[in-house]
Structure 1
Amino acid sequence: MTTHEHPRAGLRVVGGGLPLLQVDNVSLEYRTPDRVVRATHRVSFDVHAADRFVLLGPSGCGKSTLLKAVAGFVPPAEGEIRLDGQRVRAPGPDRIVVFQEFDQLPPWKTVRQNVMFPLQRARGLSRAEASDTAMHFLDKVGLAGFADAYPHTLSGGMKQRVAIARALAMRPKVLLMDEPFAALDALTRRRMQEELLALWEDASFTLLFVTHSIEEALVVGSRILLLSPHPGRVRAELNSHQFSLASQGSAEFQHAAQRIHRTLFEEPEQAAPAATPQSRRATHTH
């Protein structure tokens, strides 16, 4: 078993075992009318089964673009993304995305139908099987009583819970969440974080989660990758499984948040050297 420590972050990464998801020296680019812009530069990290892995960084660091690349929507300009050892080349039902926007549910379908639809189309379940599965996961997110409601009658938090139920019902290898709670008010956001962690405790799925909130990253994540401002490069990777919603007011939590802030926003010439791709290959421990 090996450990790697970033001198500024002050938190260890511990490892052993084979990764489920590998992002290997991935650079991502997008075109503007005038030029090609590099969003990330040679980013490497591993995600293990049952990880709650968070991509954390300031706006414009390419974290959402990285998530889309893992989903198969954006091809790398260089490097490779592998899931279970197979190169990711296109979207697939083994990677389901929950976006920030509330309007990701077709408004003409009921809550139950929204969850059933991909089960029938992508998984080939019968109508009865899809309905049973949909109700199981709607119950998990506390919305079984709203199965026949339409999305326009739901609050923003409820719509996100339907989107999470729909994603989990597909039983993806990796659940991808792109700042899913950013547009919610503070109380609803905290409740959604609680519910997400409770779902993870129940189902132990693998999560790749994007946020720009240091506090949310510490609460939601078991491991966190820190990305520098544009273009996104790896600043550090650290363990955060010791934190929870209950520890937010603790001195240890605040100290970790301050250290992460300094690591993210220090000037490049002052920053500690980034880990090599080999040293960034952190592995999972329970």
Structure 2
Amino acid sequence: MAAAAQPLLQVRDLTLAYRTERRTVRATHEVSFDVQQGDRFVLLGASGCGKSSLLKAVAGFLPPRSGDILLQGQPVTEPGADRVVVFQEFDQLPPWKRVLDNVAFGLVASRQCGKAEARERAAQALATVGLSRAAEAYPHQLSGGMKQRVAIARALAMRPRVLLMDEPFAALDALTRRGLQEELLRLWAELRFTLLFVTHSIEEALLVGNRILLLSPHPGRVRAELDAESFDFASAGSAAFQAQQQRIHRLLFNPESGS
């Protein structure tokens, strides 16, 4: 039998901690999971479970206290263009740059290509997210949802091995949030990138992810890993969807009640 493909991303026994003036605060404790090529892998848990810390560690911004992070079998020790983060804050776009230049900036700064090719790739990325007409606008001229689409375009233009998203739609109104969730899944179906997505919304986790890692709080530990491949927007109101929401809620907040 052929050997199973090596996961694109491997997190092994990862413990993360922050040091304050008075003490060391542990964010996660011995967390392990694998992300396969093309996965939409969601880290789900309440505030304080360490999910954003895990994302920062995978991005290379937060060194582990112990454990390992491997990308295609190689240790992650620093930030790199192969991992690009989209945050929830709308102010992640330099306000003095036009939209096209904002999208091209990462390509030029990382020296992936020259300015002309960077602008060409940026234009392609903006077309992918439906913002070609906004290429010459400034960030202050965009709505919150449009700014997030620009941030997604900037990340996709980098062609990362893993797209990291830290609650990217949490600050948006419900209608804009749903629209961007649908947009993200459309882009994934077209481009088949690998996604590591952080949320505290059970519904969003089931809609966006094909696999969900549940984290318990203080410090974050793996509570369970679930398959969400069968759920989508069409099934969001179904009895099965609601039952899975309730099961996840019990696992996260009433672990003694069982699964």
Match of residue 210 from structure 2: 222
CA distance in 2, matches of 1:70, 1:260: 25
CA distance in 2, matches of 1:270, 1:221: 25
List runs of 5+ in structure 1 lacking aligned partners.
Answer: 2-15, 273-286
Match of residue 67 from structure 1: 55
Kept after mapping to 2: 8 A contact 1:39/1:65: yes
How far the C-alpha of 1:121 sits from its partner, in A, is 2.0
CA distance in 1, matches of 2:41, 2:111: 26
CA distance in 1, matches of 2:26, 2:8: 26
Size of the aligned set, in residue pairs, is: 258
CA distance in 2, matches of 1:266, 1:75: 31
Calculate the aligned-residue CA RMSD, in Å.
1.4
| Deviation digits for residues 165-188 of structure 1 (CA, Å, limit 9, x no counterpart) | 000000000000000000000000
CA distance in 1, matches of 2:211, 2:165: 15
Match of residue 4 from structure 1: none
Match of residue 232 from structure 1: 220
Does 1:179 find its partner at 2:175?
no
Does 1:31 find its partner at 2:6?
no
Question: Which amino acid letter does the alignment assign opposite residue 127 of structure 1?
Answer: K
Does 1:149 find its partner at 2:137?
yes
Question: Which amino acid letter does the alignment assign opposite residue 15 of structure 2?
Answer: S
CA distance in 2, matches of 1:63, 1:124: 30
Quick one: which of 93, 100, 104 aligns to 2:92? Answer: 104
CA distance in 1, matches of 2:67, 2:108: 34
Match of residue 137 from structure 1: 125
CA distance in 1, matches of 2:112, 2:69: 27
CA distance in 1, matches of 2:160, 2:149: 17
Q: Tell me the secondary structure at the aligned position of residue 30 of structure 1.
A: strand
Q: Matched residues, percent identical?
A: 69
Structure possessing the higher relative contact order (Cα contacts under 8 Å, 6 or more residues apart) = 1
Question: Which amino acid letter does the alignment assign opposite residue 126 of structure 1?
Answer: G
Alignment of 1:1-286 (within 5 A): 16-267=4-255
Question: Which amino acid letter does the alignment assign opposite residue 60 of structure 1?
Answer: G
Q: What TM-score, normalized by structure 1, do the two folds share?
A: 0.88
| Deviation digits for residues 211-263 of structure 1 (CA, Å, limit 9, x no counterpart) | 00000000000100000011100000011011111211001100001000000
Q: Tell me the secondary structure at the aligned position of residue 130 of structure 1.
A: helix
CA distance in 2, matches of 1:65, 1:223: 19
How far the C-alpha of 1:271 sits from its partner, in A, is 5.2
Kept after mapping to 2: 8 A contact 1:123/1:170: no
Question: Which amino acid letter does the alignment assign opposite residue 117 of structure 1?
Answer: F
Q: What TM-score, normalized by structure 2, do the two folds share?
A: 0.97
User: Larger % of helix: which?
Assistant: 2
How far the C-alpha of 1:127 sits from its partner, in A, is 2.0
| Deviation digits for residues 55-82 of structure 1 (CA, Å, limit 9, x no counterpart) | 0000000000000000000011010001
Give the ranges of 4+ consecutive aligned residues of structure 1 lying more than 4 Å apart after TM superposition: 269-272
CA distance in 1, matches of 2:13, 2:257: 23
CA distance in 2, matches of 1:266, 1:34: 32
